Amino acid sequence: MPELNAVYRHREFGDRLTTLADYERAGGYLGLKETLELSPDDVLYAFHRSGLRGRGGAGFPMGRKASFLPKDTGRPTYVVCNADESEPGTFKDREIIEHNPFQLIEGITIASYAVGCERAYIYIRGEYETQARVLDDALAGARAAGRLGPDAFGPGRPFDITVYRGAGAYICGEETALLESLEGKRGQPRLKPPFPAVAGLYGCPTLINNVETLASLPPIMHRGPDWYAAMGNEKSPGTKLFSVSGHVLNPGNFEVVLGETTLRELIYDMGGGLRPGREVKAVWPGGSSVPVIGAESLDVALDYEALDAVGTLLGSGGCIVMDDSGCIVRASWRLAQFYRHESCGKCTPCREGTGWLANILGRMVHGEGRGEEDIRLLESLFGRIEGRTLCPLADGAVMPIRSALDLFRDEFIRVAHEGSPRPVPMTEAPVG
Amino acid sequence: MTVADIEEHLAPIRHEYPDPRSLILPALRHAQGDAGWLSPDALAAVAAATGFSQAYVESVATFYDRLYMDEVGRYCINVCVTLSCMLRGSDELFDHIAEYLGLDGEGTTADGMFTLAKVQCIGACDRAPCLQVDSGVQLGPLEPADAACLIDDLRAEPAPARYGR
């Protein structure tokens, strides 16, 4: 079972790495040391050569994103770490922050050196107050040791990091909504272009990356981009963290080499499998905003292209598993409620559409459905929502529901006629 | 919460932001810690301390779930009900807590001790079903009896000096 601890270095170490001394003992800050011996352009080239793709969900090549930032604009450049981890089923960034905050801090420092940033921000969701305090303490430790502060990049070359707490809004994980929130506004997405690389935080060139992406940089700079690129396959190099939850016996985070592990191995070998006598019914492999797939797709390799080929997305790696005791319509209804709640309200198709999805699925579940009429109504909604909004939240609401209807049409029709009683939930305690 | 209190809180972090507008959210969070919610007076104090209008400050505050525009209980019991938690019994956990608190669903207990709410994914699906008291540690997996103990323990605690939400 190819499992690695490139990002989860604390697992290799066997304990939390929450003091600078422990982190340095585990090889911490060697990546920054190598970085500071290179020119910023060479560091950007190393990002590019590593093939690292954005781990927040979109999978955009990190090196390319960083290279989009214009140089010598005479204005500040910012690095923003997206720690708003709110995608249902995703809790990998939480573990990095709780157990290995310095690797994130080192990664942000490396990225900031590469793009010429003197102050970076970590935007962390308000619900992660416990985790924000771990970061506060780690930053204080890094400052006390001179890793941050007036001479962070060398004598007279300052760099520091600010932790910015959100206050409860999924949409602030969308990069432009995050910037709005960080600027002291309502967290509503902006029209793109301009992209944040050109006009981001305070209108300045900004690199925004997810926690996992930035935490991948120290080992890449220390062991070399070629070491990283050699793992996985050409289009999906490196390792990725998967959070496994739902009807599995051993929910948790697992770091796998992309392309070398199947979804079945992730669920059964790492996630502990299911209760005796149960079978996989549905999996949302990349968080809740991706198309759901069924048991026939379990042998898919975990990488961007292979998951795409079976009609879903790698997304954030938040793998939610439902066994055959679950009702797909009830699950879809629950997700629709999530998107209705989290829609920021800026775009009408999303604000109204997610509400309609939740209403229709809700009445179906509660035995008040209108049979095939509701199925047709659902289908007519999808195209009126998808692709018609500023940000991907609405698409993320449609994808899991439309795919569920495609895969489990008979069940949807039955529930639209008969309703769906609340199933007995899984109560087995996690074994891990 | 006075304007001076908020200004004192903001003083050491002002230099971190080129635009003072970014101070509004930290100021709102700080102000909320005082009374547990954002009264019109608290909003006015945030407005005065940051230099923006009260209407603007309020428009920002109303966007965020964890900023409370109405008075809530001493403790907010936030039960996650998103998919992973639902599959592991969050609805049953929520119902049990509501019954234990004598509530008919979401709401605040008559003694003002607890506000019970269903919330969206709090990033602890490995601990499903889970809940958070205010913005505390994500607790789980919880059985109904665990939740009852938690509530009894909170009831026995002295009132917090500041609200951690």
Question: In terms of C-beta density within 10 A (0-12 exposed, 13-18 middle, 19 or more buried), how is residue A424 classed?
Answer: exposed
Contact A127 B132 (CB under 8 A): yes
Architecture of domain A239-318: Roll (3.10)
For residue A285, whether the previous peptide bond is cis, meaning omega lies within 30 degrees of 0, is no
Contact A331 B87 (CB under 8 A): yes
pLDDT digits (tens, 9 = 90+) for A314-343: 999 999 999 999 999 999 999 999 999 999
- Supply angle C-alpha A223, A40, A68, rounded to 5: 105
C-alpha to C-alpha distance for A284 and A294, rounded to whole angstroms: 9
Confidence of residue A276 (pLDDT cuts 50, 70, 90): very high
Decide: pTM greater than 0.80: yes
**CB A241, CB A212: distance < 8 Å:** yes
Of A162, A326, A338, which is closest to B82 when you measure between CB atoms? A338
Q: Name every chain A residue with its beta carbon within 8 A of the beta carbon of B26.
A: 164-165
Q: Name every chain A residue with its beta carbon within 8 A of the beta carbon of B136.
A: 129-130
In the predicted structure, residue A115 carries a pLDDT above the cut 50: yes
pLDDT at A151: 97
CA distances (Å), origin B150, targets A30, A103, B72, B97, B131: 44, 34, 19, 10, 11
Delineate the domains of chain B, giving CATH numbers in brackets.
Answer: 3-61 (1.10.10), 75-156 (3.40.30.10)
**CB A61, CB A53: distance < 8 Å:** yes
pLDDT digits (tens, 9 = 90+) for A362-374: 999 999 999 999 9
Q: Tokens 């921000």 belong to which residue?
A: A121
Of A165, A181, A330, which is closest to B29 when you measure between CB atoms? A165
The strands making up B75-80's β-sheet, listed across from edge to edge, are: B107-108, B114-119, B75-80, B131-133
pLDDT (mean) for A239-253: 97
Contact B89 A426 (CB under 8 A): yes
pLDDT digits (tens, 9 = 90+) for B82-136: 999 999 999 999 999 999 999 999 999 999 999 999 999 999 999 999 999 999 9
In the predicted structure, residue A4 carries a pLDDT above the cut 80: no
Residue A432 CB neighbour total at 10 angstroms:
12
Question: What does the block give as tokens for A230?
Answer: 């050699």
What's the Rg (C-alpha) of chain A? 22
pLDDT at A96: 96
Percentage of chain A surpassing pLDDT 90?
94
Q: Name every chain A residue with its beta carbon within 8 A of the beta carbon of B139.
A: none
**CB A332, CB A361: distance < 8 Å:** yes
Confidence of residue A430 (pLDDT cuts 50, 70, 90): confident
Listed by number, the residues of chain A in 87-146 with a beta carbon closer than 8 Å to a beta carbon of chain B are 87-91, 93-94, 119, 125-130
Give chain A's mean pLDDT.
96
In the predicted structure, residue B78 carries a pLDDT above the cut 90: yes
Kind of pairing between the strands at B114-119 and B75-80: parallel
Where are any strands of DSSP class E within chain B?
75-80, 107-108, 114-119, 131-133
Closest CA to A329 of A408, A432, A224: A408
pLDDT (mean) for B144-160: 94
Q: Name every chain B residue with its beta carbon within 8 A of the beta carbon of A344.
A: 63
- Residues contacting A61, CB < 8 A, separation 6+: A48, A51, A52, A53, A54
C-alpha to C-alpha distance for A116 and B36, rounded to whole angstroms: 40
Q: Tokens 């990033």 belong to which residue?
A: B123
What are the residue ranges spanned by the domains of chain A? 9-229, 239-318, 328-418
Listed by number, the residues of chain A in 315-374 with a beta carbon closer than 8 Å to a beta carbon of chain B are 318, 320, 322, 326, 330-331, 334-335, 338, 341-342, 344
- Supply angle C-alpha B120, B123, B125, rounded to 5: 95
pLDDT at A1: 46
For residue A150, whether the previous peptide bond is cis, meaning omega lies within 30 degrees of 0, is no
Q: How far is CA A333 from the centre of its chain?
A: 22
CATH domain A328-418 topology: de novo design (two linked rop proteins) (1.20.1440)
pLDDT digits (tens, 9 = 90+) for A182-231: 999 999 999 999 999 999 999 999 999 999 999 999 999 999 999 999 99
Q: Name every chain B residue with its beta carbon within 8 A of the beta carbon of A85.
A: 123
Written out in words, the top-level CATH class of the domain with range A9-229 is alpha beta
Cβ–Cβ contact A71 with B under 8 A: no
Contact B125 A182 (CB under 8 A): no
